[in-house]
């Protein structure tokens, strides 16, 4: 298994702490070793609008920090993931920019080489840990849980750079959800934007986009909307509450982080995953009990044996 | 006499300075917390806050803060061991010297019945404490000027702080060293404490002191007999020994005396003892007098900041007290630059060169801003850029050794700018604006996207959005191959040239889809923008809201059959507008 530096970004430690806790717990359970680099900076994503040089340097510095330690990068955020990866792609073709950046980085004895692998939590789980191992490590499975899987734009697109999954009909995240026994349902706006990028720039637009996704997922019968990005999480969590207050539209469709969804089935206590089961509100009251309705894994066992045998 | 006059005047100046500082704390409005309240109202709120803290459970937070954060500098310890050692040495050395040595008539005399500065352990301790400070200062100089600490800068106050403490301690050692060798000092002391009548006795004592106490004598005492020395010792035992330990105990001063001994005559002649004495005393008094206006004032303000942050919570504190606390916090910052070396967005400084991006420098700028309400519009814009270029990761607040609630300060100052309608930066059009909208309830910010809306209409005006612009000459039917537009716009992308207006980008755009009449809300649709660029009609697209309302989901780019990099072109256009449109904005707004 590759060695990774965990890139937490700016939002998670302040606004979505449970993501860090649950991701670490899950990675630990699945024997993925992650190191911490406390000198990481912002990935630069927000700067992209007004100063691409600032974005490139910010991303490159993080990559250089990982490279200096011989580590690869594992991000938890779609936007950090997209920002770092598109920056790496840009620097691959723009030698001038790379030289300029290395000149700045050399002041702190860093060098951007572009050899570091940049991965997202989901791609590591799917491609390196593999679904098979995950299934083996789960202790039981969800009995009746419908999940609206939300991919997050910047992981999927631009697909020629991100190489995360098929941009039109992706399956990676759905597979990861299904392996927990939950059902990743079909819904039309699965691949659309959560609305976060324009909150603060055009609030009405942002809230509209979030509402559309919530309406669509709810209509498709989702119990939870499953995300793996702090921006999306914040949008479906606190901004959903705000929509309920400001616009009077209540969807009661709580978000759940994939690391939480999987963590429970790996036998990690909900306390360690940051799932606040003692919350009492309309948004979660119907959905949360479903997280604890489980069944034995038995049903799938014979199938698995067959598969291993045939391989031999 | 002169000593008393100087002491009293420096204490008077100190008193006036403290009053000025308190007036400043109660009158400065750095953020939105205080509007037009009078100083008395703020004083009343402060007193009420203090009283309610004294009679509440929060009061019990204070002893812990005092011991761990102030006496043992816990927050510094967590950051940097070397810096902690440095600060502990200076702080404890100086505080102990202050109480044992500077306040000896008040503290040491009353605490120890046998106190004399010239007997052990006090003689040794004085040098030990002095040496602690000196070692600490050497580490400070080493850190500041020889270690390459990332994003650490030194301003005049930083250098003053090192200098003033350095002068006090070095002159102290100098004074001690010259006193040890001084013949005149010897004679004075002999006169005062021994009062010997006979020349032989004085000579005997002198010989004994030259031999054992490091005294430098102008007389020839190289061949003194054993008897004379014995007599000297006898007199010494009668008159001196009770309050004079051997000077070797004062290891620092003794070392200085050995170095000075060859020049004892000259030093005596120029009155080196007096010179060192006055340097030492004047440095102390000057440092004391101007204390409130120097970095050294942090011995008062930083503990104050740590105490208030231990007991004050934004939710239930009076807004007036938050304003007052923020004014104190500006003084509590010691410019240690811990925040800047941890700042998530600091790399942007390397590109943009605006030092206000780094929190420690922004703090200094805000301090200037609060004292002189008038600052140049350029400085003002630089502060704005710094304050808006923040990813709200709150690392600065977590790491600040002075316990300054930086995130709230940034927030309140930015809010103050926004409410005054003076925010002019393209940064309000980036996801850095997210936090303000997201944390609306925490910070009571109404109309979260208003700065962005204003910025968009500013850009629209600048590019004559919606106005018919007459063209000098008709456009060519086939765009000129070498048209300057691409270069002018700083675009590295020219894939827009392949656009054949299939409208896939527009049809898949979730933003376009959100509006019944998208062309009204967004001015131009993605395919129109691409096509206009291809036709050389760059001026048409620059004012369009579409660019800023784009959620950067890359659906357009992904679905373009012609591989036009729509989203990336948007980014480049936005970059160009940010640079061009906001360059000379101070004249316009």
Domain total in chain A: 2
**Which range of residues forms the domain containing residue A251?**
140-298
The token pair that represents B433 in the structure block: 């604006």
Looking at CA atoms only, how far is residue A99 from chain B in angstroms? 14
Contact A192 B553 (CB under 8 A): yes
Contacts of residue A203 in chain B, CB cutoff 8 Å?
437, 448-449
Token look-up 């073709």 returns A93
* A175 and A111 co-located in one domain: no
Contact A52 B575 (CB under 8 A): yes
Closest chain B residue to A152 measured between Cα atoms? B553
State yes or no: pLDDT of A12 exceeds 80.
yes
Length of chain A: 312
* A105 and A149 co-located in one domain: no
* A81 and A215 co-located in one domain: no
Residue A294 falls inside a structural domain: yes
Contact A200 B437 (CB under 8 A): yes
A61 touches chain B (CB under 8 A): yes
Contacts of residue A193 in chain B, CB cutoff 8 Å?
510, 551, 553
Residue B330: C-alpha distances to residues A75, B73, B366, B371, B400 (Å): 36, 19, 8, 10, 13
Contact A14 B438 (CB under 8 A): no
Q: Is the peptide bond between B121 and the residue preceding it cis, with omega within 30 degrees of 0?
A: yes
Give the domain ranges of chain B: 180-279, 467-588
Contact A57 B574 (CB under 8 A): no
A58 touches chain B (CB under 8 A): yes
Say how far residue A117 (Cα) sits from the centre of its chain. Answer: 17
Residue A134 falls inside a structural domain: no
The whole-angstrom separation of Cα B138 and Cα B90 is: 10
* A150 and A265 co-located in one domain: yes
Instruction: Choose the final residue of a domain: A62, A89, A120.
Output: A120
Which pairs from B117-123 meet CB under 8 Å and 24+ separation?
Answer: B118/B243, B118/B244, B118/B245, B119/B242, B119/B243, B119/B244, B119/B245, B120/B245, B120/B249, B123/B245, B123/B247, B123/B249, B123/B250
Say how far residue B428 (Cα) sits from the centre of its chain. Answer: 26
Helices (H), B226-318: 226-239, 251-260, 264-270, 272-289, 298-311
For position A264, what pLDDT does the model report?
A: 97
pLDDT by 10s per residue, chain B, length 589: 789 999 999 999 999 999 999 999 998 887 777 777 888 999 999 999 999 988 988 889 899 999 999 999 999 999 999 999 999 999 999 999 999 999 999 999 999 988 988 898 999 999 999 999 999 999 999 999 998 888 888 999 999 999 999 999 999 999 999 999 999 999 999 998 888 888 889 999 999 999 889 999 888 777 888 889 999 999 999 888 888 899 999 999 999 999 999 999 999 999 999 999 999 999 999 999 999 999 999 999 999 999 999 999 888 888 899 999 999 999 999 999 999 999 999 999 999 999 999 999 999 999 888 877 667 888 888 999 999 999 999 999 999 999 999 999 999 899 888 888 777 899 999 999 999 999 888 767 666 888 999 999 999 998 887 776 676 766 666 655 555 455 555 577 789 999 999 999 999 999 999 999 999 999 999 999 999 998 888 888 999 999 999 999 999 999 999 999 999 999 999 999 999 888 755 444 3
A284 touches chain B (CB under 8 A): no
A201 touches chain B (CB under 8 A): yes
Contacts of B308 (CB under 8 A, 6+ apart): B325, B328
Residue A269 falls inside a structural domain: yes
Token look-up 């449970």 returns A18
- CATH number of A150's domain: 3.40.50.11810
* A277 and A174 co-located in one domain: yes
The phi, psi pair for B429, rounded to 5°, reads -100, 25
Instruction: Choose the final residue of a domain: A54, A85, A120.
Output: A120
Residue A166: C-alpha distances to residues A76, A105, A160, A251 (Å): 20, 35, 10, 30
A53 touches chain B (CB under 8 A): yes
Contact A196 B574 (CB under 8 A): no
Looking at CA atoms only, how far is residue A32 from chain B in angstroms? 26
For position B490, what pLDDT does the model report?
A: 59
**Biggest distance spanned by C-alpha atoms of chain B:** 120
- CATH number of A37's domain: 1.20.1050.140
* Reported pTM: 0.91
Using alpha carbons only, how large is chain A's radius of gyration in Å? 20
User: Which of the following CATH numbers is that of domain B467-588: 2.30.230, 2.60.120, 1.10.1220, 1.10.1060?
Assistant: 1.10.1060
For position B588, what pLDDT does the model report?
A: 40
Region for residue B571 given its phi and psi (left: phi exceeds 0; alpha: psi -120 to 50; beta: otherwise): alpha
Contact A45 B571 (CB under 8 A): no
Whether B267 and B260 have beta carbons less than 8 Å apart is answered as yes
Residue A128 falls inside a structural domain: no
* A273 and A147 co-located in one domain: yes
Residue A304 falls inside a structural domain: no
A283 touches chain B (CB under 8 A): no
Instruction: Choose the final residue of a domain: A75, A91, A120.
Output: A120
* A87 and A164 co-located in one domain: no
Global ipTM: 0.94
């Amino acid at each position: 298994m590759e060695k990774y530096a965990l890139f937490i970004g700016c939002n998670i430690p302040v606004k979505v702490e449970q993501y860090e806790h649950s991701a670490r717990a899950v990675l630990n359970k699945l024997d993925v070793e992650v190191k911490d680099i406390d000198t990481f900076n912002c990935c630069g994503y927000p700067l992209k609008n007004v100063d691409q040089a600032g974005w490139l340097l910010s991303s490159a510095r993080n990559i250089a920090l990982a490279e200096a330690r011989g580590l690869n990068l594992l991000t938890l955020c779609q936007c950090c993931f997209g920002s770092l990866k598109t920056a790496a792609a840009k620097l691959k073709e723009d030698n001038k920019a790379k030289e300029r950046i290395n000149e700045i980085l050399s002041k702190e004895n860093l060098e951007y080489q572009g050899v570091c692998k940049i991965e997202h939590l989901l791609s590591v789980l799917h491609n390196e840990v593999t679904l098979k191992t995950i299934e083996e490590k789960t202790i039981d499975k969800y009995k009746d849980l419908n999940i609206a899987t939300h991919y997050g734009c910047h992981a999927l697109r631009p697909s020629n750079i991100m190489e995360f999954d098929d941009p039109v009909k992706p399956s990676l995240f759905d597979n990861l959800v299904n392996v927990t026994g939950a059902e990743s349902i079909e819904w039309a706006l699965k691949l659309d934007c959560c609305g976060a990028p324009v909150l603060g720039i055009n609030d009405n637009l942002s809230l509209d986009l979030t509402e559309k996704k919530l309406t669509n997922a709810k209509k498709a019968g989702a119990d939870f909307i499953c995300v793996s990005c702090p921006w999306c999480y914040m949008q479906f969590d606190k901004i959903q509450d705000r929509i309920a207050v400001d616009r009077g539209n209540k969807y009661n469709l709580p978000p759940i982080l994939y690391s939480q969804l999987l963590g429970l089935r790996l036998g990690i206590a909900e306390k360690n995953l940051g799932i606040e089961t003692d919350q009492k509100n309309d948004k979660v009251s119907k959905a949360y009990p479903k997280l604890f309705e489980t069944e034995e894994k038995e049903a799938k066992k014979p199938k698995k044996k067959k598969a291993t045998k045939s391989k031999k | 006499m002169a000593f008393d006059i100087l002491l009293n005047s420096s204490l008077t100046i100190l008193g006036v300075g403290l009053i000025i500082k308190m007036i400043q704390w109660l009158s400065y409005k750095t953020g939105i917390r205080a509007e037009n309240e009078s100083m008395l109202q703020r004083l009343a709120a402060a007193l009420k806050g203090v009283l309610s803290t004294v009679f509440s459970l929060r009061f019990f937070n204070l002893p812990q803060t005092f011991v761990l954060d102030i006496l043992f500098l816990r927050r510094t310890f967590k950051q940097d061991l070397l810096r902690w050692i440095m600060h502990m040495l200076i702080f404890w050395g100086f505080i102990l010297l202050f109480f044992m040595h500077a306040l000896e008539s008040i503290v040491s005399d009353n605490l120890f019945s046998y106190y004399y500065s010239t007997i052990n352990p006090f003689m040794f301790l004085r040098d030990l404490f002095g040496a602690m400070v000196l070692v600490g200062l050497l580490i400070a100089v080493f850190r500041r000027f020889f270690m390459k600490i990332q994003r650490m800068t030194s301003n005049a106050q930083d250098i003053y702080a090192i200098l003033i403490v350095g002068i006090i301690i070095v002159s102290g050692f100098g004074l001690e060293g010259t006193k040890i060798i001084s013949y005149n000092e010897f004679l004075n002391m002999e006169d005062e404490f021994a009062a010997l009548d006979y020349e032989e006795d004085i000579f005997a004592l002198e010989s004994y002191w030259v031999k054992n106490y490091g005294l430098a004598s102008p007389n020839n005492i190289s061949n003194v007999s054993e008897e004379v020395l014995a007599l000297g010792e006898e007199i010494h035992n009668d008159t001196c020994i009770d309050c004079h330990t051997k000077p070797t105990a004062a290891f620092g001063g003794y070392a200085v005396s050995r170095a000075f001994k060859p020049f004892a005559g000259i030093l005596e002649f120029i009155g080196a003892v007096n010179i060192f004495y006055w340097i030492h005393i004047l440095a102390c008094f000057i440092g004391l007098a101007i204390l409130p206006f120097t970095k050294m004032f942090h011995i008062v303000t930083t503990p104050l900041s740590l105490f208030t942050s231990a007991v004050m919570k934004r939710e239930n504190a009076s807004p007036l007290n938050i304003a007052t606390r923020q004014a104190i916090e500006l003084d509590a910052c010691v410019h240690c630059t811990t925040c800047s070396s941890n700042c998530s967005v600091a790399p942007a400084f390397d590109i943009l060169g605006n030092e206000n991006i780094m929190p420690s420098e922004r703090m200094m700028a805000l301090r200037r801003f609060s004292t002189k309400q008038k600052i140049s519009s350029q400085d003002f814009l630089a502060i704005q850029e710094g304050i808006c270029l923040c990813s709200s990761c709150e690392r600065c607040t977590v790491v600040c050794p002075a316990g300054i609630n930086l995130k709230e300060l940034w927030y309140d100052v930015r809010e103050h700018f926004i409410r005054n309608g003076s925010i002019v930066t393209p940064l309000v059009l980036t996801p850095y604006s997210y936090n303000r909208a997201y944390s609306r309830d925490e910070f009571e910010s109404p109309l979260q996207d208003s700065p962005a809306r204003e910025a968009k209409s500013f850009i629209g005006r600048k590019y004559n959005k919606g106005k018919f612009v007459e063209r000098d000459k008709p456009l060519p039917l086939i765009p000129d191959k070498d048209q300057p537009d691409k270069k002018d716009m700083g675009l590295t992308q020219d894939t827009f040239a392949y656009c054949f207006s299939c409208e896939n980008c527009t049809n898949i755009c979730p933003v376009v889809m959100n509006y019944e009449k998208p062309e009204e809300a967004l001015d131009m649709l993605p395919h129109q923008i691409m096509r206009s660029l291809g036709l050389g009609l760059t001026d048409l697209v620059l004012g369009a809201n579409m660019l800023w309302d784009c959620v950067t989901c890359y659906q357009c780019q992904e679905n373009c059959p012609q591989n036009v990099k729509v989203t990336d072109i948007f980014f480049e256009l936005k970059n160009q507008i940010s640079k061009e449109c906001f360059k000379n904005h101070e004249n316009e707004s």
